[in-house]
Structure 1
Amino acid sequence: MTDTTGALPHPDFTLPVRGDAYRRADADTLAGFDTITSATACAKLHGMGITRSWVDGPVPLSPGQRVVGSAITLQFMPQREDLASGLGQEYVERHTALWAVLEQVQPGDVLVIQAYGSRFSGCIGDILARYFLRKGGAGIVVDGRIRDAARIRQLGLPVWSTGTTPHYASQTELFPWAYDVPVAVGGALCMPGDVVIADDDGPVIVPQAMSNDVIDAARDHEEWETFSRRRLDEGARLGDYYPLTPDTREEFEAWRSAQAFAL
């Protein structure tokens, strides 16, 4: 018969887990995404062969917010009491990957959290969000829930999550396990250092090595869409300007040259 009265045997395993060193997306790259929407980035990535870039599930805590930043990652895993449990939260969580990742935050980082869409784990609360913001963090994307929503709104910190909960991070089913590791969020893979774009259409993950190609393609796309909107507002036919035909592409190129010359 198993003895359930004493402490469980503890495997020889050290937490938190930390991934390998990585390179953040640089400031010039991030600046290149300033005017690019998540929808345009997602569409351009699809055309380049990356078909799962959208993080399905998280929505903005405060509509109208937007963030572009370099991904720093946090992975939750299921609790197993011989390894990790949320009992005694105040004394346990400070030694987990959740506290550790916050000490690694640099200006412009977007914290991307794998939490399996859990409804019961408040992965980030007011105090941690304040600390993240103080260190220069740009925004947070959580494939799961947050707590202290009203206070986080007051901070003005851009956050995307699947909802809110009164629970703390390790109160029920998950435990902050690893950081600086690949994470799965809403059906998309996010590697540390990838570019994250999030707005009202949701978060999109741009592989860092593809970021400059996405910038070039997206800038052209958004410029011709601006031109097309103008022509449609003037009464032009949809089929001629969305998308552009070879003839209207020539018209757009002439319009773009004139705009550049005017500047």
Structure 2
Amino acid sequence: MKFDNPEDIIQLTPLWEGERFSNGRPKVSDNLLRRIRNITLEEAWGPLWEQGYTNQFEGDFKIIHPDKVMVGRAVTAVLVPKRPDLNDTLMQYGIEQEGRKGFFNQWVIDSLVEDDVVVVDLFDKIFQGTYVGGNLSTAIASRTKRGGAVIWGGIRDNQQIVEIENENFNVFYRGSDPTGIADVTMVGMNVPTRIGRAICLPGDVVLATPAGVVFIPPHLVESTVVNAEKSHVRDMFGFIRLKQGVYTTADIDMAWTTALWSDFINWFENDEAAAEFRHLDWTAELEAARKLEDNGGPASDAVRL
């Protein structure tokens, strides 16, 4: 058994065709991470749900900075209750064969790079289940720059963690306790990880918001972002027109006519509010609406993203 094994990670993520880290972990582009920071959790969750990825969200967390959004690439870890023979075997292997130092949680944190998020299944343990405190949280903030941690377990030193000087750093966790971490063994690093009712794989993009956390499979990130951005910018337009009294809520919520699409495209191409989304293309939506109306029917909900 190896920790952070490239062969295993590649085997687990065969649908990813892009760049990878040296350990095989998918490396979603910095540009996509930046774009994800501008969408809501629901906008990201919707396309995943529609494609059958119905176990990507968990919302039952406490949050160090409840008003902050955190985005990054997942580095996962799975811990179990300590069994002495298993614990000694894995600890010895990691230290002697892989050259690791310290306790299991330090092994993971020492591997982090910029824009990483530690995702840890600590089987909801809080007493003696405190995966990070002030020191390790500082190390995560320093290494990841814009990342942090999602921990299905506990933390300690909350007051110190809150005061870490990194405006992007955040920690999502289940509870806090003054005890240190003890009586646990790491059985997997960068392996499939259960977080409550969600599953996270190494390289998933973590979108952690005040509403909870969604884990986006790397091969679906680009399509998810595009769909989410389209939903977001259409909502922007809809809110404006509803305030102006141009359309009813039924007009906006139901399938759009070609006339409404034309109004939207004109707004999209000329209003400064839409400037950052002008990389999006609406040709398919507009053509689908035209084709259906030419055939005597209304634009279908199927053309909506």
Aligned residue for 2:156? 147
Deviation at 1:132, TM superposition (A): 1.3
The counterpart of 1:126, out of the listed 134, 158, 166, is 134
Deviation at 1:140, TM superposition (A): 0.9
Identity of aligned residues (%): 23
Aligned residue for 1:101? 108
SS in 2 for 1:65: coil
Aligned residue for 1:5? none
Note the 1:180-219 alignment, pairs <5 A.
180-219=190-229
Deviation at 1:126, TM superposition (A): 0.9
Aligned residue for 1:76? 79
Tell me which amino acid in the other structure corresponds to 1:252. F
Tell me which amino acid in the other structure corresponds to 1:47. E
Q: Is the 8 A contact 1:24 1:71 kept in 2?
A: no
**d(CA) in 1 for partners of 2:249, 2:120:** 41
Tell me which amino acid in the other structure corresponds to 2:103. T
**d(CA) in 1 for partners of 2:244, 2:3:** 58
State the TM-score, normalized to the length of structure 2: 0.71
Encode CA deviations 1:107-144: one digit per residue, 9 max, x unaligned.
11111111222232111111111111122351111112
Note the 1:5-44 alignment, pairs <5 A.
17-20=3-6, 21-22=23-24, 23-44=26-47
Encode CA deviations 1:156-176: one digit per residue, 9 max, x unaligned.
531111221222222x5x333
**d(CA) in 1 for partners of 2:220, 2:78:** 24
Report whether the alignment pairs 1:175 with 2:185. yes
Q: Is the 8 A contact 1:97 1:178 kept in 2?
A: no
Deviation at 1:54, TM superposition (A): 0.7
Tell me which amino acid in the other structure corresponds to 2:123. Y
Deviation at 1:189, TM superposition (A): 1.5
- C-alpha distance 145-244 of structure 1, shift in aligned 2 (>3 A): farther
Q: Is the 8 A contact 2:37 2:69 kept in 1?
A: no
Deviation at 1:100, TM superposition (A): 1.0
SS in 2 for 1:36: coil
Aligned residue for 2:53? 50
Deviation at 1:233, TM superposition (A): 2.8
- C-alpha distance 243-160 of structure 1, shift in aligned 2 (>3 A): farther
Aligned residue for 2:121? 114
4+ runs deviating over 4 angstroms: 260-263
SS in 1 for 2:48: helix
SS in 2 for 1:112: strand
**d(CA) in 2 for partners of 1:26, 1:94:** 30
SS in 2 for 1:100: helix
Tell me which amino acid in the other structure corresponds to 1:117. D
Name stretches of at least 5 consecutive residues in structure 2 with no aligned partner: 7-22, 89-94, 276-305
Deviation at 1:78, TM superposition (A): 1.7
SS in 1 for 2:163: helix
Aligned residue for 1:252? 264
Q: Is the 8 A contact 1:73 1:182 kept in 2?
A: yes
Deviation at 1:103, TM superposition (A): 1.3
Root-mean-square deviation (CA, aligned residues, Å) is 2.5
SS in 2 for 1:35: coil
